[in-house]
Structure 1
Amino acid sequence: MSYLIETVLNSEEKGDLVEFANQLRESQKHYLLRNDILSAFSEFCQNHQKPDTFEHSSRLGKLIYYTQEIILEEESLCLIIRPKIAKQQVYRLCFPELEIEPLSIQQLLDVRDRYVNHFHPDEGDVFEIDFQPFYDYSPIIRDPKNIGKGVDFLNRFLSSKLFQDPSQWLEALYNFLNIHSYNGTTLLINGRIKSQKQLSDQIKQAIAFVGDMPPERPYEDFRFDLQAMGFEPGWGNTASRVKETLEILDELIDSPDDAALEGFLSRIPMIFRIVLVSIHGWFGQEGVLGRPDTGGQVVYVLDQARSLEKQLEEDNHLAGLDGLNVEPKVIILSRLIPNSDGTRCNERLEKVHGTKNGWILRVPLRDMNPNMTENWISRFEIWPYLETYAIDAEKELFAEFQGIPDLIIGNYSDGNLVAFLLARRLKVTQFNVAHALEKSKYLFSNLYWQEMESNYHFSLQFTADLIAMNAAHCIISSTYQEIVGKPDSVGQYESYESFTMPDLYHVVHGIELFSPKFNVVPPGVNESVYFPYTREEDRVPSQKEKLEELLFTLEDGQQVFGKLADPSKRPIFSMARLDRIKNMTGLAECFGRSPELQEHCNLILVAGKLFVDESGDAEEREEIEKLYRIIEQYNLYDKIRWLGVRLPKSASGEIYRVIADRRGVFVQPALFEAFGLTILEAMISGLPTFGTQFGGPLEIIQDRVNGFYINPTNLEETAQKVLDFVVKCEQNPDYWLDISNKGIDRVYTTYTWKIHTTRLLSLARIYGFWNFTSKEQREDLLRYIESLFYLIYKPRAKELLQQHTHR
């Protein structure tokens, strides 16, 4: 029995538990999530005149704090307790005897099904999905604090294997080094080294040879001498670099160490061709930001592509491959949209600005239904077209690369599914990046999936997520909490550990959170676009003046709504697309409810479109109408500027700096944010930043040090936090500068693309080595995944396709 429950039942607080349960029964809610539970308990404490300490410090208070869900049944209540991160316990408390019985995951899923009246015990069992057996024989992290540090764990695991069985692992290293080539040219070792024993001997001989040379002697000067010893290009570009690499390998063979293993593998030239998959949305370099289903994904993937190419070039140079004319290639795989609405999304191939060999490759969806496939399709509707898209994309990629890629990185649920289908067929390493999992964004989305299916098709999306995340060799997350949340909240991936989709399936074990496949690698910002407002020498005066006019004074009914009565007031700024989760309307209402804040500040929003008839997205249309209602309700016409513009990339960086020139602040009010690129953009520009406490911003911002947390569901508290900051800045202007400077430092020391891509490529090499050397058999796992694809995903995708034919 849970210690938390036992201590309550064995104390005088047992009666309080009964009274609290009775209060819950009298309410209208029978399924309570954590916020509901805390609110109800706070009300209970007030109604029963409990001491101030009771709510948080009593035995019952501690039990309530760790309770994530309560489900009220006829004569019992079901408690889902989360005593620590990545750990869940389930109990049924029966009345009036106050008997406690633990429930299995299967029993909990049955309780949830009964709650929504979709399951009756006499109707037979439900299809169960359980991935646990496939992780039973894989290395597993033990300590929750190490979740997200998978590669560190894997390095320790691999180096311990080297130490335990040196002959086997020396053979594995030898075979691994033997397979590397580029366009038919052998890399690393050649046929003169015929065994693992000879490899070890030759390494020592080569170290002695290059050790007698001047450190900076170019590799080309002694290339043929090394070849005679059995070493091909790839060890380094100078004598000192070659010596360092060989010494790391020598140390690794003689005394295995995790740091040496990572250091060696990070130098191996084995990644030359990368695919970044980003299917849904408008993907382009101009005219797409602000459209539905784009925004952050385009910025992230384009910046990542540029940085990856640059890092690959640097790595290849350091490896001594200049003489081979090695040219890395990065392809962003997206969809071609024939009716492109003035964008370049109807072009098959587009070079990525600022790259030598980075490309956007757009592959069309097959014309199963031209009314759909020739136009933009929402991320919620794209599922029927992805299998054939992957088949067509495989051919296109092969033509562009003149071979197969070395690494495929999926983005979002649909891109991750396509990455799986491609990696399965091509037998290459697959990485996943979720950015945001819809399951966490929409409450009860799995429980009430049938009611939401017509709009969101979660049955397809959640099945695709299960398939892709279990198939991936590595999952990249931006934050630790994205995986397993915080002590008081469940992580995005954690929400997939067990759940029910009534009448469809039960997920008993959907993902192994302690798997070393999880790695936290936060993105960076494009430092050529986003940089501090103080760098006047890098700013364009004409652009600055144009944006100042647009933000504060321009009268243009097609682009701007609202005329400021006093443009000199301190600006509160936010920029996001208009959807419910981004919550721009919530920020407007927060501002509207605070006359004090209106006295000190204006509100400036860059938010999608101004007119309902310009949008084809239902949620965006609702938010546009809602924003107009809020402006009217609070009479904000002369206190708000709403810009319905699509800014070019350079302007999106300068707009933050113009706000910083006026000592403004940036507010990110999302109801949930997986990471928060706009927060990084604002902070590096020098804007003091207020970010949502729900999601990734908790790991970017250090509260009251270089920014501030806000609870966007508490409008009065949010308004007061911003007001307190503004008033303090008016009293002490240096306070604004202090927060501004600390925000800039935070980004430069932690969130750059150089840091991101160096780590990402290191991961790719290490996981490539793990897959080659381990005896882990993935075929059984992949066959199980394929069964889910063909038995669940594909039939439902066909149903959706049929619906599309009638539109």
Structure 2
Amino acid sequence: MYQLIQSVLHDREETRALHQVIAALIAAEDGVTEQMSARHYFLHNDILRCFEAGCQQQQKPAHFYHSSAIGRLIHCTHELILEGDDVWFVLRPWIGSQQIWRFDRDLTTPTLMTPSALLDARDRWVGRYQPNLVELDLSSFYKNEPSISDPRSIGQGVAFLNRYLAHQVSDNPQYWLQTTYDVLSHQVCDGIPLMLNDRIQSGEELVQQVKAAIKFLGTRSRHEAYELSHPEMQALGFEPGWGNSAGRAQETLELLDYFITTPEPAILEAFVARFPSVFRVTLVSIHGWIGQQNVVLGRPETLGQVVYVLEQARALEKALHEEIRLAGLEFLGIQPHIVILTRLIPNCEGTQCELPVEQVDGTQNAWILRVPFREFNPKVTENWISKFEIAPYLEPFAIDAEAALVKHLGGRPNLIIGNYSDGNLVAFLLSRRLNVTHCNIAHVLEKPKHLFSNLYWHELEPQYHFSSQFTADLISMNAADFVVTSSYQEIVGTPDTLGQYESYKHFTMPGLYHVLDGVDLFSPKFNRIPPGVDEAVFFPYSDKQKRSNESGIWLNELVFVQEEERILGKLDDPTKRPILSLAPITVSKNLTGLVQCFAEHPELQARCNLILVTNKLQVDEAASAEEAEQIQKLHGLIERHQLHGKIRWVGIRLSVRDMGEMYRVIADRRGIFIHFALFEAFGRTILEAMVSGLPTFATEFGGPAEIIEDDKYGFLINPTNYSDATRKMIEFLDRCDADPSYWQEVSDRGIQRVHDDYTWQLHTKQLLLSTKLYSFWNYLHRNDRESLLRYLELIFHLIFKPRAATILENHMSRER
């Protein structure tokens, strides 16, 4: 970046343009947020907008904006802070990297600065500078770890580790031969050896016996059950676990033999995938209502997570049944055991969330295990507790849950998967105590979701308690053996936006601590493993045999005809093409923006009806001030623009099965689905709509950009640019009118996209492979991780627990 900066500063025209951008930003401060006004702190979009306006005003050629030195500098400037006589530039020259440069106000003396200096400047900006603040730096713990070099490979940790380990085996074959023997000889389930017995005592003996076993199995019929060969194989030193037939066991042994002699990544992955090492899995999801009968899944803030966990549990049990069968372990009586660990809620409002144990529907051995919070103040702990106020109960819960979990499983789990900040912290505590592989799934990280939430944590603390939440995130994402994300952007964003995990790289909690390096984005622990959809619920509208006629008739009446207090609007022409939006009422889902966009474009109103399906309709139903404000805005927009005959707002919480049929009902009428969120971490409803056959228009900000290739599997839109979003919808309608088969083409491509890349079968296959590989990796590096885990325990005890204690103090004084 130094050469680029010098190029700008040594060109008079470009230096003048840079001064003009800064002057324009200051002049435009009346138009930015109140927090930023007159405080001289500017973000990427503000900077780009001012530069673009200046280029247009000065009639600069296009290359000046895009490819001149100043154009390239402005495009990678993500923050600009004016402080006295200094100008701070936070540059992001490429994905996953940051550089900090400080200039004097005349832009003549650039100085490369440290993250610590920038964090001090940010503290001064909010008026909370404090010298000698605690500094957290985790970079040293990753220095001796293998690191991904190409940003395009971030999120492909398993593939990277396969290549790395194969290379290591080539360099030191004798060490790795003995290590492989050690790992195989330690594979047991409830004391039953699964791979090797004591007839094989070393790596050298393993090589000899593998060849003998391959030769022996070659004399048997490939389809012969392994049990028939078991006595002879046991005499050679091999236990069940290599395969359910002579042919499969021979294949597995040949993979091991090939890997020992010709270590290649593909062979290692194929062998590890067959490793019978995962039988008991615990999914930790603390704060949601997790139930199946007489219960609305989760609360609005946790609905997606609860659906994800239930579907993942079913898919994992199915996948493990198949793995155990193929490994030949059924005749030993080994079965998968899945537990969703959550809290028991005494005041469960008529649901079954007070039951200690409940079987997951559609499974043989997957269970919801509910452990109550310790009482403290029962007026708080006997009720549902928001994710923002749950921190004080997590450590006691983990201690109590450990005993309940081990008793229920009949032993330790092989894998613990944390969900969200609180679930991941409990997963960290449990995995630390039980010495179990820990997988971190965040779903969404709150810090990047709320602009300046870390800088203004003092002001936001009474409502959100971000200090404990962000600290929990920092601990768990580093403690986890591996991290699963749904999208690449979740990790490192795009050239124009920071990733959610990337936002934890350098940040300040003014007056509390500085994070100089909070996460290694190039660590192979990150893996992009997107979820699937429940194909028993979400399937194409054309699959008539699977559909419920009764549900379809009811939903048609509900959406297009029926009049009742939970529905707003009566359509003037119900035959017009429907535009469906199905979402909770939050600022980020931007339903108010969608209604405003629809109201501003008469052509769209003339050709389509807008169908909103939400969980609530009236202000008095709102669970928060934010939700009440959004509901009120929606009512105001509909009244102001007189949309009652063109819009239907269904404020009913539908069951999951009814949601599936809702998509299909809209597809029957050749409708479309629109996801108008300002930002979406992934977008499960997008998958649900696409696999149901609905052509889908989705926000270009976040994970949807990875699901949808624009104008192929669907359409990406900018929800802040109403004219452009509408243009895309009108163009689609015109093409459908010109070619009646076009709607079907887009529908079919969307269905195929989901079937090819977004299924629970693919998800569980990659998740289990990751578990096995990282368990193997951590067996080799368990001593290296100990120092990191002890450092994180210090953060937990010295920072997290005192912050959580302040929440508990407030809870203890509550009367209701």
Query: What's 1:555 paired with?
Result: 563
1:305 lines up with 2:306 in the alignment = no
Q: Which amino acid aligns with 1:688?
A: P
Match of 1:99, SS? Answer: coil
* Aligned ranges 1:424-435 → 2 under 5 Å: 424-435=432-443
SS at match of 1:512: coil
d(CA) in 2 for partners of 1:162, 1:54: 51
Q: Name which of 776, 780, 785 aligns with 1:778.
A: 785
Equivalent residue, structure 2, for 1:6: 6
Stretch deviating more after TM superposition (44-53 or 190-199): 44-53
Amino acid at match of 2:116: Q
For 1:283, the aligned partner's letter is: I
* 1:61 equivalent in alignment to 2:82: no
Equivalent of 1:161 in 156, 168, 193: 168
Structure 1 counterpart of 2:350, from 342, 346, 352: 342
**Is residue 522 of structure 1 aligned with residue 530 of structure 2?**
yes
Unmatched tracts of structure 1, length 5 or more: none
Trace 1:663-742 onto structure 2 (pairs within 5 A): 663-742=670-749
Name the CA distance, whole Å, in 2 between partners of 1:166 and 1:289: 52
Q: Deviations over 1:607-656 (max 9, x none)?
A: 11122323333322222222111211211122211112222222111110
Alignment-derived partner of residue 591 in structure 2: 584
Q: Does 1:195 align with 2:202?
A: yes
Matched, 1:138 2:145: yes
Deviations 1:134-192 (A, max 9, x none): 11111111111111111111112222222222222111111111111222222111111
The alpha-carbon deviation at position 354 of structure 1 amounts to: 1.0
Structure-2 residue corresponding to 1:614: 621
Greater mean deviation of Cα atoms: 711-720 or 230-239: 711-720
User: Conserved in 2, the CA contact under 8 Å of 1:283 and 1:294?
Assistant: no
Match of 1:593 in 2: 600
> SS in structure 2 opposite 1:704?
coil
Question: Does the Cα contact within 8 Å between 2:243 and 2:249 map onto a contact in 1?
Answer: yes
* Local SS of the residue matching 1:395: helix
Contact 2:484 2:528 survives alignment (8 Å): yes
Deviation readout 1:2-55 (Å, 9 max, x if unpaired): 233221112232222222222223342411111111111122223434345433
Alpha-carbon distance in structure 2 between the residues aligned to 1:228 and 1:49: 84
CA contact (8 A) 2:25 2:46 kept: no
TM-score after normalising by structure 1: 0.97
CA distance in 1, matches of 2:678, 2:61: 33
Corresponding position of 1:749: 756
Give 1:97 deviation, angstroms: 5.7
- From 452, 455, 459, give the equivalent of 1:447: 455
Give the drift of 1:532. 0.7
Q: Aligned in 2, Cα 1:647/1:195: closer, same or farther, shift over 3 Å? A: same
TM-score normalised over the length of structure 2: 0.96
- Structure 1 equivalent of residue 105 of structure 2: 95
Q: 1:385 aligns with which of 375, 384, 393?
A: 393
Answering whether residue 88 of structure 2 is matched by residue 78 of structure 1, we say yes
**440-449 or 8-17, which deviates more:** 8-17
Q: Which amino acid aligns with 1:3?
A: Q
Amino acid at match of 1:93: F
- Secondary structure of 1:770's counterpart equals helix
Q: What amino acid is aligned across from residue 84 of structure 1 in structure 2?
A: W
Deviation at 1:486, TM superposition (A): 1.1
Aligned equivalents of 2:358 and 2:52: distance in 1?
57
1: CA distance between counterparts of 2:774 and 2:353? 34
Structure 2 residue 398 is matched with structure 1 residue 397: no
Change (3 A) 1:213 1:446: same
2:638 is aligned, of 631, 634, 646, to 631
- Over the matched positions of the two proteins, sequence identity in percent amounts to 53
What is the CA-CA distance between 1:289 and the residue it aligns to?
3.8
**Counterpart AA for 1:107:** A
The answer on whether the counterparts of 2:487 and 2:530 sit within 8 Å (CA) in structure 1 is yes
Q: Note the aligned Cα RMSD (angstroms).
A: 1.4
Residues 1:150 and 2:157 are matched in the alignment = yes
Written as runs of structure 1 = structure 2, the 5 A alignment for 1:115-126 is 115-119=125-129, 123-126=130-133
Number of aligned residue pairs: 803
**Aligned equivalents of 1:179, 1:58: Cα separation in 2:** 60
Letter in 2 for 1:468: S
Q: Which amino acid aligns with 1:348?
A: P
Hey, what does 1:539 align to over in structure 2? Answer: 547
For residues 305-346 of structure 1, what are the alpha-carbon distances to aligned partners after superposition, in whole Å with 9 as ceiling and x for unaligned?
Answer: 111000100000000011011110111111112221222222
Q: Is residue 473–residue 517 contact of structure 1 (8 Å, CA) maintained in 2?
A: yes
Distance 1:375 1:382 in 2: 11
Moved more, 559-568 or 243-252: 559-568
CA contact (8 A) 2:298 2:306 kept: no
Q: For each residue in 1:401-438, what CA deviation from the matched residue of structure 2 results, as whole angstroms up to 9, or x when unmatched?
A: 01111100001111111110110111100000011111
Residue 182 (structure 2) pairs with residue 175 (structure 1): yes
Contact 1:280-1:293 within 8 A present in 2 as well = no
The structural deviation recorded for 1:290 is: 7.3
Q: Matches of 2:811 and 2:645 in 1, distance apart?
A: 45
Aligned letter for 2:696? T
Match of 2:363 in 1: 355
Residues of 2 paired with 1:283 and 1:626: CA distance? 31
SS at match of 2:92: strand
Q: Contact between 2:9 and 2:107, CA under 8 Å: does it hold in 1? A: no
Residue equivalent to 1:22: 23
Q: Deviations over 1:527-567 (max 9, x none)?
A: 1111111111111111111111111111111x322211111
1:290–1:576 contact (8 Å) kept in structure 2: no
Q: What is the CA-CA distance between 1:376 and the residue it aligns to?
A: 1.4
Map Cα deviations across residues 244-287 of structure 1 (whole Å, 9 max, x no partner).
Answer: 00001111112222221111111111100000111122222243
Partner of residue 463, structure 1: 471
2 CA distance for matches of 1:625 and 1:277? 36
| Alignment partner of 2:247 out of 237, 240, 243 | 240
Tell me by how many angstroms 1:775 deviates. Answer: 5.8
Alpha-carbon displacement from aligned partner over 1:757-806 (angstroms, at most 9, x marks no partner): 01100110111111112365211111110111111110010001111223
Q: Which residue, out of 27, 31, 40, partners 2:41?
A: 31
What secondary structure, in the 3-state scheme, does the structure 2 residue paired with 1:745 have?
helix
Q: Partners of 1:631 and 1:554 in 2: how far apart?
A: 19
SS in 2 for 1:251: helix
- The one-letter code sitting in structure 2 at the alignment partner of 1:86 is G
Q: Distance in 2 between matches of 1:370 and 1:97?
A: 61
Q: Residues 289 and 298 of structure 2 are in contact (CA less than 8 Å); yes or no, is this contact kept in structure 1?
A: no
State the match for 1:792 in structure 2.
799
SS in 2 for 1:118: coil
From 581, 584, 594, the equivalent of 1:574 is 581
Contact 1:138–1:776 (CA under 8 A) maintained in structure 2: no
CA offsets, 1:77-127, max 9 Å, x none? 1111111111111111212262111111111111111111111xxx52111
Which secondary structure state, in structure 1, belongs to the residue aligned with residue 275 of structure 2?
Answer: coil
Do the aligned residues in 1 keep the contact of 2:676 with 2:699 (CA within 8 Å)? yes
Aligned letter for 1:134? F
Q: Give deviations 1:741-765, integer Å, cap 9, x for gaps.
A: 1101111111111111011001101
The 3-state SS of whatever aligns with 1:747 is helix
Name the amino acid aligned to 1:78: W
Q: Note if contact 1:273-1:401 (Cα within 8 Å) is conserved in structure 2.
A: yes
Matches of 1:603 and 1:80 in 2, distance apart?
Answer: 42
